[in-house]
Amino acid sequence: WAVAATAPAVGQRPLLLSLVFVLPFLLISGIVGQLTDKFEKAQFIRIVKAIEILIVFVAVTALSIHGFGLELTALLLMGMQSALFGPVKYAILPQLLGERDLIGGNGLVVAGTLIAIMFGSVLGISIAPVAGHSMTVLTAMLLLLAVFGFLASLAIPRAESLAPDLKLNLNPLSAGLDTLRMATQQRTIFLSILCISWFWLFGLVFITELPEYVRTILGGGTSQLRWVLGVFAVGVAMGALFCERLSGRTVELGLVPLGALGLTVFPLWMVLGGPDAAAPGRGADWTDMGRVLTFMGLTGVSGGLFVVPLYALVQQRVTPSERGRIFAANNLYNGIFMAAGSILALLALSAGLNVAQLFVVIALMNAAITIYIFFVIPEFVMRFIVWILVHTMYRVKKQSLHHIPETGAAVLVCNHVSYMDPLVIMGNSPRPTRFVMTHKIFRIPVLNFVFRHAKTIPIAPMHEDPEILAAAYERIAEELEDGQLVAIFPEGKLTTTGEINEFKAGIERIIERTPVPVIPLALQGLWGSFFSRKDQDAVLKLPRRLWSKIGLCAAPPIAPERVDREALHDQVLAMRGGWR
């Protein structure tokens, strides 16, 4: 705030300072990623937090003497410390947390980050008048926060280096370019990083311009701004923490489109339904403030739902020894996007747009960009459809799904009760699964979109289409050799009685060609549902209930040499029990 007082036009001050802050992200991220991968991460974090204490002394000195150049230097150093800390705080999580805690851990990190940013903004607004008369309060506050951060870092468990022999490249330019190239090697990871970077661009513009929006559009002051920032922070924290509950503690990409939708709809609703400008001398209208608080809170929730699964996806799918460099690339792209966002906002405001109009532009850009991303990665939309269908129709009781391996090839076998069976398994599997299913189900409208983009393998009996059958076995072998998870329904058809039909010989043929572990699954409670064949053909009867309780359980893997279709049948039957 002291720096802002000496900067150019009021609406542009925060954006100019944001450019200074993100500059280190562009300059040193390539080197930081290498350091994160090469050294033990907990000690690295402690060093970074110790550096923060030294930077606080520089900042306090700069503010005491009102030296604008030194103030900018302090801000630049804080940006450097953030660039050092960014990759390691995400790279360390998979080493400290289990697969089922990854979403929750990322939710806490994202929630903590946004709450800290908002709390810092509110605290800065609150103590700025006092700091103008006495530097003691400001010095004590900054030192207290920095020391607390360092003390907290002492409790972080060790996380050993995953690339101790990595040769460091200390050239910022070539290291940065190498890091960016590494991130582009896996398309899904790269596009997820772009989505994360867009989120931070979106957040930067909103956070930096909210004070101007409250002042010029709502006619509010410091008190109203505290409320808006606080509600937005709480919203993001709630969205980030909701992810764990809504996803069933798995990396659920279906939440990303839901969050993206909210990031467009709620800001537009807030701005377009509000005043164009504050009336002179009117002060804040609490009706307008109530609407703004509501929609800022919902925007925050949407942001949490959008970004947390993306962080977890990158952590889950990247090579562990490259995780630090990939998150350094994320840092670098975040910096590029935030700098671009600041420049875009400066140009828009200089061209005569007010803050409300700038928010509309950013919300519409969010719609266009996310539509493009989802078009080129249909997995997001496919998972969204699956998540909506499964969570609208059913409450799933999950048992022992940790037996489904996180990596490596395996075959899932399950009883076949309804047309929803693949979606129930797909929506609760911790990783992408290639389903083998009859070509008739594969062609069902709407579901066909999901199955195609899930790389489902259609199959037909020999007497119907031997070519489809032969192609299916070839695809199954290819997917297993590639280390994928393949799921089959060995009965070869839906049950018409509720009982489990005999298992066909296909499972033995698959394992004979490609010996991999087999994980038995059992679906419970789907018999009698709208998509089962109880009483008459599926989907030709009225639904009996929505959000009914069903079950999905798994058993430990069976070694390929012990796979026997009759034994598998008996095991799945025992797992299902009497709950058909």
Residue with tokens 């395996």: 410
- The pLDDT of residue 509 is 92
Residue with tokens 């009102």: 66
Long-range contacts, stretch 384-388, CB < 8 angstroms, 24+ apart: 384/253, 384/254, 384/255, 384/256, 384/257, 384/258, 385/254, 385/446, 385/449, 385/450, 386/254, 386/423, 386/426, 386/427, 386/450, 387/252, 387/254, 387/255, 387/258, 387/427, 388/254
- The pLDDT of residue 50 is 94
Smallest CA-to-CA distance from 199 within 105, 299, 303 is with 303
Smallest CA-to-CA distance from 253 within 453, 437, 442 is with 453
Smallest CA-to-CA distance from 94 within 404, 254, 311 is with 311
**Ramachandran angles phi, psi of 487, nearest 5°:** -115, 135
> Which token pair is 430?
């911790």
Q: For strand 548-554 and strand 518-524, is the pairing parallel, antiparallel, or unpaired?
A: antiparallel
Burial class (CB in 10 A: 0-12, 13-18, 19+), 131: buried
Q: CATH homologous superfamily for 2-158+169-376?
A: MFS general substrate transporter like domains (1.20.1250.20)
What residue spans define the domains of the chain?
Answer: 2-158+169-376, 388-576
Q: How far is CA 259 from the centre of its chain?
A: 10
Strands in 423-498 per DSSP E: 433-438, 457-459, 485-488
Q: Determine the longest span between alpha carbons in the chain, in angstroms.
A: 89
- Asked if 11 contacts 209 with a C-beta cutoff of 8 angstroms, the reply is yes
> Which token pair is 220?
């509010």
- Asked if 295 contacts 73 with a C-beta cutoff of 8 angstroms, the reply is no
- Asked if 253 contacts 309 with a C-beta cutoff of 8 angstroms, the reply is yes
Residues of the chain with pLDDT under 70: 1-18, 67-68, 125-135, 275-286, 446-447, 535-547
* CATH for 388-576, options being 3.40.1130.10, 1.10.390.10, 3.30.365.10, 3.40.50.620: 3.40.1130.10
